[in-house]
Amino acid sequence: MQKQVSDKVIAITGAGSGIGKAIAIELAKYGARVVIGSRTEASLTEVAQLIKDSGGEVVQVVTDVKKKQDLLQLVDAAVNTYGRLDVMINNAGVAHISRIDELEVDQWDDMIDSNLKGVLYGMAAAIPVFKKQQAGHIINIVSTSGLKIVPTQGVYAGTKNAVRTLTEAFRQESDGTIRITGISPGYVKTNLVNTVKDEEKRQQVLQAMERLGLAPVAVANAVIYAISQPVDIEVGDIVIRPSAQD
């Protein structure tokens, strides 16, 4: 797989921590040239330094996926630096846990803006480049929360299932020159839980994460598998979760 990934130019949102960080580091190890985005410059700089220290090639761009212009700047950084973009990985997201009748409308807006609109903005930034190149690959990080609906995760799962739907719709609309893959992780040990504001619910998620959670590199390996396939093969959907997860 290293040969297929080496020298690919890959943009990644939410790359300052967790799954996005692991994806960036692993891809760089395989020889990819990564363009990493995150809202926090300090975390981006830390990830970039880790990649550079290991001999990898990286460009960092402060990126808030709620802002269309930030996604355009991320893609532009890839094209201006390397002359092309091969893969767009829409990974950034937030999780707020609450019952729907608690009416945490601001939290709903945050998830819709980050998890759904942020993915659409990432796709909108990359697709014109891919069309011009007549080649490209979109990876959307989804979630198993959309596969098994449970109380307190309704709106979060709703945003993730919306991404699942638009991923499949784009797959059908594409003529094959632009491939698209949805990857749905289960419990993964990341700091995504820090966005859960209710302390009791946050502790419940933390306990489940510590008991079951995969290392983020497991998701990175799924990404590498998807993008290392020959151009005439599209991996449409990957579900990766702990074997003990319900």
- The catalytic residue positions are 156
Ramachandran angles phi, psi of 57, nearest 5°: -115, 130
How many Å is the Cα radius of gyration of the chain?
A: 17
Read off the DSSP letter of residue 7: T
Q: Classify each residue of 36-62 as buried b or exposed e, where b means 16 or more C-beta atoms within 10 Å of its C-beta.
A: bbbbeeebbeebbeebeeeebbbbbbe
Extract the tokens encoding 142.
Answer: 């989804």
Q: Look-up: residue for tokens 């994806």?
A: 23
